[in-house]
Structure formats: C-alpha cells, structure tokens
Chains A and B, each alone.
Chain A
C-alpha cells in the first residue's frame, strides 16, 4: 500500500506527478453540468405544477428537459467529477503519472463534445430508448444510416480513452499490493467498458422485448453499481483516512465489502423490471441477491463509522468529512430501503410511483453528489492554489443540500405510497394526479433549496479561484487537540 504524504510527490524526472490543470478543467465542467442538470430538473418539476415556462416549444419540451436532467447528471457531472478525482488519486496511490497529459486534454474535449452532441440530439428528438443510456445512437433504428452524430460510438471512444489513460499507471503498479481504493477503480474501469457496450448494443441491435429488457435492467443497474459506486467507495477509502490521518478500521471488512459488491451487485439487474414478462426465476434471483447486498453494504458503512470513532469532531471541523459521512448515512438509508422495496410485496405498490424517484435522488444526489462535493472541498484549494474564499458559504451549500434532499426524499416517498395505493384501489387516475400535486409543489421547493445551495458552492469556488490568499498545505488536516 502506498503511503499518503502531504507534499506532492515528484518523480525522479522532475515533472509533477499530478496534473492539476486537468483536474481543474474537469471539476469546472462538472460544476457547470450539475448546474445545468439541476436547472433542468427544476424546470421539469414545474410541468407537474402547470407552470412550465415553454409550453409551445418543441425543442424545449418537458420530455427533452427530463433527458437533459438525468443525462447531464450522469455523463456531465458524475463522469467529469470522477475523472478529475481519478487524476489526483490514482497517481498518488500508484506513484505513476497517468498515460499522457496530451491524452488528458483530448479526453476532456472529446467528453465535452459528447455532451454537446447529446444535448443537440435530444433537442432534435434523437434519443435511444434505454434509461440512463439515452445518448443517441445516431443511426436510424434498424439500419446503419446516420441521422445524427453517433454519440454512443463517441461515448465508447471517450470511455476507452479514459480507461487507457487511467489503466496505464494501474498497470505499471502491478507488482505492488493494491490499496482498497485501487481495487474499486481497477475493476470499476473494466466494468464501465463492459457495461456500456452491453447496454448499448444488445437491446438495440440484438435482443428485442423481454429478453432485451433483462439487459436494459442490468445496464441501468450496472452503470450505477459498477461504475458510480466503485468510484464513490474508492474515493471514500482514499480521502477519509487521508483527512482523518488514520487507517481504515478493518481490512477484513474492506475485503468483504469489495468482493461481495463485485459478486452480488451485477446479479441484481433484473430488479428494475419486476413482475414483468421476464421469467420469474430470473426475478427471484435478482431479488435475493439484491437483499444479500444490503447486508454487505452494512459492513462497509460500519467500517467507516468505526474509522471515525475518536474523531467525531472532524464532522464539525472538516467540511470534506461532513459531506462524506452525510453521504454515507444516506447511502445506508437508500440501501436499507432497497432491501424492502425490491420484494414483490412492496413492488406492486411502489413501482412506477414517485417513491422510486425519491430513491434515485437520495442515492445520486444525497450520496454520490455529496461525495463529489467532499472531493471538491479537498481538491479545489490545491488545484487553484488559493484558500477557500468563505467557510460560511460552504456551510450554506451543505445545509441547504442536506435539508433539500431530506425534504425531497420524505416527500416523494409519501407521494409514492399514496399514488401506489390509489392505483391499487382503482381510484380514477385523476385522483392520483390531483393527490400528488401538493407533493410535487414540495418537491419543487426542495429543488429550489438544493439549487440555492449549489449556487453558494459554485460561487464559493469561483471566488476562491479569484482570491489572492495563497493556499499553504496544512501540516495537520484536522485539529489534533479536538480528539
């Protein structure tokens, strides 16, 4: 295991190990994308209240805005954020630079070009019918005739470049015993390639209907579970010990957590289409492995909380730790919820309702976005070499986000239960929609809080970059006296 050091390591040839400008650009792009995504989510939520601002525009129709919302969150915010984070973490842990800085810039611009083509495609009704993989194929369905930029192909190229870029240092370090973070990153990069290819090729070109649905279910699931989750836990295993200046509590629990994720997680894919024409035994398999994984998640969360033992004050003194642990709590809540709602008993009520939307926001915003905000809290001053502009704004960002997601989650969960029982009770559809409207107002309000928080965070980043208080690397990351 490589040791952490506070000084940027400089290999013998004198060139820096970590390329900060690349990180900076990725974080900035990520910040812009999360803003776009949230504004889109907010706009879309207005449709549910009857106040959608562009009712007569085909290009900016609510449906298109929804595609913007989820795809900018995934391909814009999370991918940019995680890639930037990897540029810091992987060289630090392996001691080797990423493949090439030039390649880094190529990746950066290819990726932003992908986002542009994707957005242009959505506006022109080009979209692939795969949830979270709506990036246009660019081909007229069922033929090889182009009708748009082949974004799927570009994403594949972009992903392969990212993988090459990051796999080179990982491969060079193959003689080392890997630290936990690298377990997640190495496997996660392999999974990313396999998942993306599987999800975008098989249902579209090979298997129709129910057999294809098993694959799209697996795709939605694997993109979250085998790319986003490994990146998330990998960064937690890196930054938490680094900031707290103590090792992870239990190595065995780390091992269990990793291997159980690797084994059980992909088996649960079909749980996105339960009680469907997919054969029952496949559904039962997915349900039981999904429940199994919650047991494992508990071990990982316990491991992190035991690590925090004796350093609880860091939650108060260090904003990064606060984001990380708030995210971990929400991770646990989401996974705990999952063990229940994956069963048919819950599924028959809550599937197709706002319950699931609440769940999706809790994990995507409450956990993974929180963790990326934590990473930004650590990286941004080192990237722009300036002290954070305002601790106050950091506090606003955190508390508005936390309050917002808590309200949104509780609100949508309740809305989902009400809608689900009304559907079962054969109430007219109008009852269900009318009963949901007050909850949709609260959701929009919660979104407003979250966006306001985000603005505080982004403004703080902006002012930090412009400030002239030079950042000096701290000797100790948290006050030892506070123990």
Chain B
C-alpha cells in the first residue's frame, strides 16, 4: 500500500478528482439548470451604451474624442468596459472591494438586493471579481450610487470626498482639472456598469437543491 503508485493515483489523482466533481461539476450543473442563465458576451452587454458613458462624452468632448473617435458607440462602450475591468483587476481594487451582497449582516439594507447567480453569467465576470476583503464598501450595486463627477473627485483624492478614507488616490488617470485620460474614462464607465445586470423583475432565485432566499 505505502508505495509510489498509491500516492500518485489514489491520493493524487483520485482524491483530487472526487473533490473536483463535487465542488466544480455539481455546482456548474445546478447553476446551468437554473432558469434565466444565459451567458452574455461583451458585445451583448455593451449593446446600449450607458447614460453615464454618454455623459462623459458631453462633459469632456475633446478628451473623449481623442480616445474614442467614433463617440459613445456600442463598440467603444465595450472597449471602455473591458479596459476598466482590466484596470480594476490590475490595480487590485478587488482586494479592497467585494462585489457581492450577502443575505446576512443587514447587507441588503446597506447596498441593495442580495446578489444572485445569474447576474454573474457574463463575459465581464469571467473570472468573477467577488473578492474576499472589504476595506471599502461593496461595489456590486454601484451603478447610479454616485455621479461621474463624484467619481472623478474621489479618484483625484479620496480624502477630499470622504475625509476618513484610506483609499489610494488615482490622480494619474486624470488631468489635474479632472479631465479623464483613457484609463479614467474606462474605470468610471466600468464602475457605472456594476450592478446593471441585476433585473428587479427577475423571479427570486431558488437555488437548486438549496433553500430559496426570501
């Protein structure tokens, strides 16, 4: 028993395989069964450029044109969402901010309805950005919480907006007067998108094999 092949195949491959089936294949299959879960690609998500994206174009026409010559088109919206998300990952925002609202700890009173699986079934959540640490607030329902101007002021120097803040300044993505660079446009566009996949008329989710969340 206590020989090479036992440890390669029984412990190594075998035990790993069992866990892989139970904690990956099972949830994947039950989530697939769950109604309303259709995978949305980026161009589908970006089909209708958000109001905030258009507002950025209005507020900073020249800077916007330099980055997005065609204006606030779906194609450019998709580009901005993707770049914003990449920056959110690259700057490790996700190590200070989570992106899911739980059903416990009064979180729905603070941030809105608890997150559901279908909201994450899209290209901008691959991989998901749930995070495991909240130094700052949850951002899953950020859409519409603040205006573009608020975000710009906040990125320039978080302490100007919230004096207690420990969030770093991201002033290098903006001109000193607040005009965003490409990165600034992208970041704000991405942040304003967060939570828009939530559909309030969607039936309350009942997890297959689990309890429903009333």
Contacts and interface: CB of A to CB of B under 8 A. Distances in A.
Contacts, number: 265
Q: Which of B16, B18, B27 has the most A CB atoms < 10 Å from its CB? A: B27
Given A204-B126, A210-B128, A282-B26, A125 B86 contact: yes
Interface string A55-66: 111100111101
Q: Which of B82, B90, B162 has the most A CB atoms < 10 Å from its CB? A: B90
B129 A186 contact: no
A278 B164 contact: no
A333 interface: no
A430 B135 CA distance: 11
A198 B25 CA distance: 12
Interface stretch (B64-72, B146-154, B206-214): B206-214
Interface stretch (A168-176, A315-323, A334-342): A168-176
B132 A353 contact: no
Interface string A405-441: 0000000000000001001111001100110010000
A366 interface: no
Given A280-B209, A426-B110, A47 B166 contact: yes
Contacts of A127: 89-90, 92
- In which size bucket is the chain A interface? 35 or more
Nearest to A352: B134
A58 B172 contact: yes
A442 to B, nearest CB: 15
- In which size bucket is the chain B interface? 35 or more
Nearest to B94: A129
Contacts of A382: none
B39 interface: yes
A433 B164 contact: yes
B87 A285 contact: no
Contacts of B53: none
Given A186-B4, A190-B13, A203 B127 contact: yes
Interface in A195-217: 195, 198, 202-204, 207-217
A113 interface: no
A478 to B, nearest CB: 29
A280 B210 contact: yes
Contact of B104 (A131, A209, A217, A344): A344
Interface stretch (A151-159, A267-275, A468-476): A267-275
Nearest to A167: B8
Contacts of B63: none
Q: Which of A52, A278, A285, A352 has the most B CB atoms < 10 Å from its CB? A: A352
Interface string B1-21: 011110110011101101110
A144 interface: no
Interface in A226-285: 226, 258-259, 262-263, 266-267, 269-270, 272-273, 275-282, 285
B179 interface: no
Interface stretch (A177-185, A298-306, A454-462): A177-185
A218 interface: yes
A186 B8 contact: yes
A342 to B, nearest CB: 14
Nearest to B20: A198
A212 B128 contact: yes
Q: Which of A52, A127, A356, A426 has the most B CB atoms < 10 Å from its CB? A: A127
A428 B161 CA distance: 15
A280 B102 CA distance: 13
A259 B207 CA distance: 33
A36 interface: no
Q: Which of B15, B87, B116 has the most A CB atoms < 10 Å from its CB? A: B15
A191 B128 contact: no
A153 B24 CA distance: 23
Contact of A61 (B18, B132, B168): B168
Interface stretch (B54-62, B117-125, B188-196): B117-125
Given A48-B166, A191-B12, A178 B2 contact: yes
A22 interface: no
Given A66-B95, A262-B11, A352-B134, A209 B117 contact: yes
Contact of B12 (A64, A142, A186): A186
Contact of A430 (B86, B162, B169): B162
A339 to B, nearest CB: 19
Contact of B8 (A190, A270, A434): A190
Q: Which of B8, B30, B94 has the most A CB atoms < 10 Å from its CB? A: B8
B12 A208 contact: no
Contacts of A211: 24, 27-28, 31-32
B22 A285 contact: yes
Contact of B23 (A195, A214, A425): A214
Contact of B11 (A50, A183, A222): A183
A279 B30 contact: yes
Contact of A62 (B89, B168, B210): B168
A126 B92 CA distance: 10
A67 interface: yes
A127 B129 CA distance: 12
Contacts of A344: 104
7 closest A-B pairs by beta carbon, nearest first, are A209-B120, A125-B90, A280-B210, A190-B12, A63-B92, A266-B19, A348-B104
Interface of A: 47-48, 50, 52, 55-58, 61-64, 66-67, 122, 124-131, 141-142, 170-171, 173-178, 182-183, 186-187, 189-191, 194-195, 198, 202-204, 207-218, 222, 226, 258-259, 262-263, 266-267, 269-270, 272-273, 275-282, 285-286, 344, 347-349, 351-353, 356-357, 420, 423-426, 429-430, 433-434, 437
20 contacts: A63-B95, A170-B4, A177-B2, A177-B3, A178-B3, A183-B2, A190-B13, A190-B16, A191-B16, A209-B121, A209-B125, A212-B127, A273-B130, A279-B207, A282-B27, A285-B22, A348-B102, A423-B110, A425-B106, A437-B166
